[in-house]
Amino acid sequence: MKNLAKLYFLIFILSFGNSAFAATQYSVSPLVIDIDAEARDILTRTITITNTGTSPATLYPTVNNISLDDGGIVREFLSPVETDRTQTLSSWLEFSRRGINLQPGTTVELPITLRVNPNPVPGTYHAFIGFGNGRNRPEAEKQVLDGKAPGSIITVTIEERKNQFLRLSQFVVDRFVTNVDNTAAVYTFVNPSEETLIPKGEIIFYDNKGREVGAVTVNNENLKIAPNEEHVFSATVPVDGLFGKYKAFLNVEYGNDQRAQIQDTSFFYIFPLKNLAIVLSVMIIVVAFFAWMLHKRFFDDDDVLDHEPLMVHVRDGVSDPKSHDIDLKNNNNEN
């Protein structure tokens, strides 16, 4: 691209005649500056001007958008009023427009700042920064427009960037994980963007003290999610040697040019069936033991036989009426 742009520059200069070189007493470098940029980029380059003649020169920097035909020849200078700022390179270039007094044999450097429009139209843009020598700016600008002044061609390429966005619509882990052969972690991605994306990352598992106890890879098969497509993934939660409450931390990256991240967490419990059976067995044994101890302490018949027998005397005959139960019959005389 750089060599091609140099060719454009030479054809441009030659198209105005060899008289331009005969009158040149100073040189400008580089001839071409190539820049690949994106929206809102701020980039700096430097142009060097050297007085190669024997007399002082007063130079006036100017910038103009230029257009090239299909053969790569400079067709014309474009007026700023005829172009849109979203696709006008001259409006993105910043540098001092003051006159440069250049003595013979001296060199100066002119910083050039490129500030790309926030919403540039993708494409390749060309501008010519010329340095006309004259008594005033109009005279110097006419030299540039007539092709009688040297300068640098600035070529800026804005590539089309497609929207890249991946949304996590669900990340859950089964509330209770009991089986070693499980697919308890489930996460769903939706791709609403314009490009096919491949999510990559891992799920990290932590205990209730924040210590890492395991991890699994996300999308180990490198499955692609096409635009406007939804895909459900699942992963096995490690169970060996774990028991109790844990946290799953999902960390996923995606993107082709620029990487972006998705993160989420989920809490769950691990109760392996083997360990759960052991715990339940121990609990049953403990409960049975305490039940037996209580029964032994309060309901054992052998303890009753250990006491002295209670002697009961039964009297023969009938007792006196006064020793009978209370007569509850209504006695009107006592009311």
Per-residue pLDDT of the chain (335 residues; tens, 9 = 90+): 444 444 445 544 444 433 343 345 899 999 889 999 988 899 999 999 999 988 999 999 999 888 766 655 556 777 654 556 788 898 899 999 999 999 999 999 999 999 999 888 889 999 999 999 988 999 998 988 888 889 998 999 998 777 788 999 999 999 999 888 899 999 999 999 888 999 999 999 999 999 999 999 999 999 999 999 999 999 999 998 898 999 999 999 998 767 889 999 999 999 887 666 666 777 888 887 788 788 777 765 555 455 566 565 556 666 666 665 555 555 555 54
Q: Residue 277 belongs to what H/E stretch?
A: helix 273-298
Calculate the CA 79 to chain-centre distance. 41
Say whether 162-316 and 2-158 share the same fold. Answer: yes
Q: Residue 232 belongs to what H/E stretch?
A: strand 229-235
Q: Say whether 68 sits in a helix, a strand or coil.
A: strand
**How far is it, in rounded angstroms, from Cα 234 to Cα 172?**
10
Q: Where in the chain are the domains?
A: 2-158, 162-316
CATH topology of domain 162-316: Immunoglobulin-like (2.60.40)
| pLDDT score at 22 | 39
* Burial class of residue 148 in the structure, from the number of CB atoms within 10 Å of its CB (0-12 exposed, 13-18 middle, 19+ buried): buried
| pLDDT score at 295 | 72
| DSSP type of residue 225 | B
| pLDDT score at 14 | 42
| pLDDT score at 292 | 79
**Do 289 and 242 meet the contact criterion of CB atoms below 8 Å apart?**
no
Side-chain-side CA neighbours of residue 22 (13 Å): 4
| pLDDT score at 222 | 92
Residue in this structure with the two tokens 């940029």, named with its chain if needed: 37
CA 235, 173, 207: angle at the middle one, nearest 5?
95
**How far is it, in rounded angstroms, from Cα 97 to Cα 109?**
13
Helix residue ranges, H only, 18-166: 19-22, 137-145
**How far is it, in rounded angstroms, from Cα 43 to Cα 94?**
10
Query: What's domain 2-158's architecture?
Result: Sandwich (2.60)
